[in-house]
Structure 1
Amino acid sequence: MTRYAIDRARGALVAQWSIGIGETATTVADLPPALPRHELLRLSAGLTRLSHACWRCYTHPADVADHQGPGSLGWHRQQERDAFGTVLRLLTTAGRSVPPPAGTRVQEAAHTVGRALHVLGSPALTARITGDVAAELDAVERAELGDLSERAAQAVALSREDASPSQVSQADRLLRRHPFGCDALFTRLDPTAAAIAAAHWLHAAVVVTADLTRIHPAQIVAAADQHAKPLAFESLTEVVGVLGRGGRPRQVVMSLIRNALHVGEGHLRGIIDARHRINAAERLIGTVHAEHPELGIGADTVPLPLTPLDPGRPAPDLLENLLHGIQSCWRLYERYVALHQPRGGTVEGVRRQRLRRAFLIAVREEAGLRRDQLL
């Protein structure tokens, strides 16, 4: 989403958003020095809130809600999306309507911005803000169609409850060229779609590594976790386990991301899964307490993670984990060959390049054999 701020040094309203590997900013309007600072801050806060409400229509599309029909979650989401058509009018008429429009967060945020513009009383500023909000709405609409260019590029930093098949195909093509990942996966594509493709390629890398080493896939994932961030092991295990049982990448990736999005909004989805987590934590606490009673570890002293992903950015977080898993499969593959080659020692120079090429060829072949599971 776009964040708005007042640059006091330049006397300007600026807009800033993430583009995957950094942030970009643009000047929305120069501000006359006579305008009250408090109202300008209210305006910037309202614009940020409006952007958040609009982009939530992208990350939480109506057609993937669990329930549809009048009064349902899907219905409310569609109401938010339909409110896009009223936003620009509210920016210029809010000063003439005392109560805010009932119903949607999009309209309430637009009304807040319109009221701030009315109080500031600058037609030139209102025109610039209206143009910028129109560009923001257009960016959301283009992102919904899979076009993540220019201002719509901020979608690459968001986690969506759905993924475009065309974006998944683009990610698959990128991974075929760069199985260990590349910047384009983070800067050109929706991270949910990229994670679906990366899950497919991780499974291929695990299969190739397991065929060579005769190590169980779960142990391969455990080895891959040696240098990973906390909880990466759990998400990688879930992905490899589901795909090993014949599941599809979309199925497991969407489940992980949706659960994390629910946790991020303060909801716990899946009582059975939560019960399993609590039981596992209690067993671990009991074991540690029995072996080290001096530590004083109890049920109230150990944090219980509700999701293996970062709730604030679950799709990019999962994508990072999956690419780490692919790279770790290569490191395990290489170590195995180094330990079992006739001369012993390490794989170096030209031999390492040949081995790496052989690994990538095998992974590409394996991924190609299972491509029907991806799309």
Structure 2
Amino acid sequence: MTVTIPKSYREPLYTIGEYAQKLGLKAWVVGGAVRDFYLKKNTLDIDLAFDGNQESVAGFCVKRWGGAKRKFSQFGTFRVQLDNGLKLDMVRARKESYPHPGALPVVAFSKEMKDDLFRRDFTTNAWCLSILPKNFGQSYDPFGAQKDIDAGVVRILHDKSFLDDPTRMYRAVRFAGRFGWRLAPKTERLLQAAVKEEYPLLLTRERFCQEFLKVLKEKRVKEIFGLMEKYDMLKFAWPGLRWNDALDSVSTPAERMGVLACSLGPSGEDFVRTLHLPKDKAQEIVSAWKIAQEQMCPLGPLSEMQKTVLKTVFPKLPLQALEPCFVRGGELKNLGLSGRKISGALGRVRKAQWNGEIKSREEAIAFLTR
């Protein structure tokens, strides 16, 4: 069977396949890109597999189209970011084993593409297309990817899949939610058993959070949360975490994290701190959470992300509630206040500004001198 590779990808993929053939290599598009081609969905992330050393192919791509390459030595992967926006992950066909549940895999190179496909998470991603000129677009589908895509089914490849890599539990519901698919009956039973046995706790918090943050990037996040609630999977992200309708009004992962943090109340800061975000991003979200907890206007300017989160969590806020406090500590000293009286007066003004009781600096001064 031949899968139609979209026109915009044909020239670069054919050219890569042509170069690989000159080197005596076989080359395939693998995994999610094949699924997306079949579903006629655009993608900028393409996985390529070769039956030999792919380093020179990565260098060729950068020379031909511009960009940069990066090597991940642990797994023998080259990531090529082209100037035209395409991201190519290039691997040697391989097989994997897991030294213990939840561990990163141990890799061994293989000449057999079936080995490489078997290490994938689901049948729908265990599919490849040749990009060699002699059989460009020819499909190899040993595990029934096309059949499961047509049926809208998420199916793991073997019974120990969730134990080997518990992040697949979240990928399963993420794909099901994204595409409107369902879990195959046996896969669903194994997922429920994995939740009962608490497989996600086998992961480092960093690996777990990387997968959870991918959920927050999805467009159909409500459907995915619904599945995570159905299978009792949210408890591994944070105790008491639930879907919040305010999430429908925001779109970026940072905004969604902010809304979730605010919905958790006093434990929201701890939730954010466990997500292994860059320090400045975590602090930005925590600062918005703190304002939501205090329900007082900020002392300084807010970022657009912070404003979006707070407007979403408090949709009836007056405009001035998110503006910096109309008065400063120095002005309060000029009014004859000192020590704790300054902080107390500042708190009263911030609360009144949040509630819409004062709308300007002049009203703030009058509020304090009454």
TM-score normalized by structure 2?
0.30
Instruction: Please tell me whether Structure 1 or Structure 2 has the larger radius of gyration of its CA atoms.
Output: 2
- Normalized per residue, which structure has more helix? 1
- Normalized per residue, which structure has more strand? 2
**Higher RCO structure, 1 or 2 (CA under 8 Å, sep 6+):** 1
